Structure 1
Amino acid sequence: MDQAPVWLRRRSTGVGRPAERSQEEVTAAAIELADLDGLVAVSMRGVAGRLGTGAASLYRYVSGRDDLLDLMIDEVAAGYELPPPTGPWLPGLVEVGRQARALMLRHPWLPELVLTRPVIGPHGVDLLEHVLALLADHPAAPARKLEAFAVMNATTAAFALNELGAAERPAHGAGDAVRAARPARAAGRPDAYLAHAMAAGGHPHLTAALAGMTPTAVNSGDRFESVLADVLTGLLGPA
């Protein structure tokens, strides 16, 4: 099997009738399926069913599920707005993180893949180039700048997973109704136990840390940008 990234492989022309689909259509169908029913629903058979074709026909465009996942990750990265850098590096990087968080909340399957399946395709290369352009005048070594990119992605994915209530996801996707109900269900249970632990005593440091904070604030994304700025500043130095 060709181990080159999917974007560098020559697409199979197959035999018989001309191809009726495109790799872009296959990718879009996989994303729609994941948005609706989660990553568990993304399979060659599932995507083919959404396209109204047979699973065997997809092998003209991808070699298997791994290709689908790689293409999905990169296609979502097309959603970034990447204007030429015009100001200080830190606000620019935080803006990239803000956009990343928005994309991850829009596609709840994405944070898991960002953390477990690092892949860079054409749109990902554009994003990395933008981040390095923001840091062009920064004195940090190139390796440290690349580390900052990776840490920014991981931090953003962790925040998004927390907001999405990843631990509360059902094993199998159940469509929009389940996804709509998930945030309310996920938000209550961990916070309720925090309140119980504080009331029971015996955790003075935790009680002091959470004093004056509402339970919702502990798990919300309200502080995302300030935390990300702190992480990046700690890694790269003051802005």
Structure 2
Amino acid sequence: MAGRAAVPEVIWARPERTGRGPRPAYTRADIATAAVKVADEGGLDAVSMRHVAAELGCGTMSLYNYVPRKEDLYELMVDAVGGEHELWEPSGDWRADMRRVAQQTRVLMHRHPWMTRLMSPVYGFSPNALRYLEHCLACLDPLDARYGMKMQLVGMLNGCVTSYVATELAAAERTRSLPWSAEEESAVRVAYLGGVLAGGAYPRMAAAFTETSGPIDLDGAFESMLERMLDAFAQRG
């Protein structure tokens, strides 16, 4: 007879200890800290039950007593990084507060580059994620909109920041792998593109290139993206 299908489970619904028997050697916080350290040093692909167990100094099978699945380990990691968010008293200016949220999230993702690969609504209801969401909604109290709209704003904000940082990280990683400097490659590519556009086949692109030539201000582009997104919700609110 075929075995019963796996039953979905939420790691946070599992008691960390039953109250019977000896005290566990490790807490979830210990495990999350070890896993985050492995990911920070070696990337997300370095995270495995074996590597995290080695970081803790325990056997791999022992770790499964605390964390049944690798997906649960990922959830602990996302929650641990979420705990690094600074939660302040809302200022009353919802745009300024959400701008501050986005800037802080960008910093956290650069601190933990693997986070862009794990951002998912699936991990959105851990203890620190709930505190973060409640904080964002408190910051949005002055916005005259339904909670559904406010949740959309938070989701879009996180999605925009995640995509932006992922692009930044990918560009930085590619630059590190080049045998020449980023400035040298940029000069060659700009010269090539300028030559192509000078032929007249792409007049609109040529006009755009003329307006935007020069190095990209990543911080300025990030702020501009935030302002345009917040403008849309201000108008709809």
Shorter-chain TM range is 0.7 to 0.9
Structure number with greater CO (CA < 8 Å, separation at least 6) is 1
Matches of 1:11 and 1:118, distance apart in 2:
18
Q: How many residues align?
A: 227
Instruction: Give 3-state SS (helix, strand or coil) of 1:30's partner.
Output: helix
> Are 2:192 and 1:196 aligned?
yes
Equivalent positions of 1:154-193 (< 5 A) are: 154-165=159-170, 168=173, 181=176, 193=189
Hey, what does 1:135 align to over in structure 2?
140
> Are 2:37 and 1:38 aligned?
no
Hey, what does 1:235 align to over in structure 2?
233
TM-score w.r.t. the length of structure 1 is 0.81
Contact 1:97–1:152 (CA under 8 A) maintained in structure 2: yes
Aligned-CA RMSD value: 3.1
Q: Percent identity?
A: 32
Hey, what does 2:221 align to over in structure 1?
223
Hey, what does 1:101 align to over in structure 2?
106
Hey, what does 1:68 align to over in structure 2?
73
The structure 1 residue matched to 2:94, chosen from 85, 89, 92, is 89
AA aligned to 2:219 is G
Could you say if the C-alpha distance between residues 136 and 66 of structure 1 is closer, same or farther in structure 2, counting changes exceeding 3 Å? Answer: same
For structure 1, which runs of at least 5 residues remain unmatched after alignment?
A: 170-179
Instruction: Single out whichever of 94-103 and 194-203 deviates more from structure 2.
Output: 194-203
Larger radius of gyration: 2
AA aligned to 2:112 is H
Instruction: Give 3-state SS (helix, strand or coil) of 1:85's partner.
Output: coil
> Are 2:158 and 1:153 aligned?
yes
Hey, what does 1:209 align to over in structure 2?
208
Instruction: Give 3-state SS (helix, strand or coil) of 1:237's partner.
Output: helix
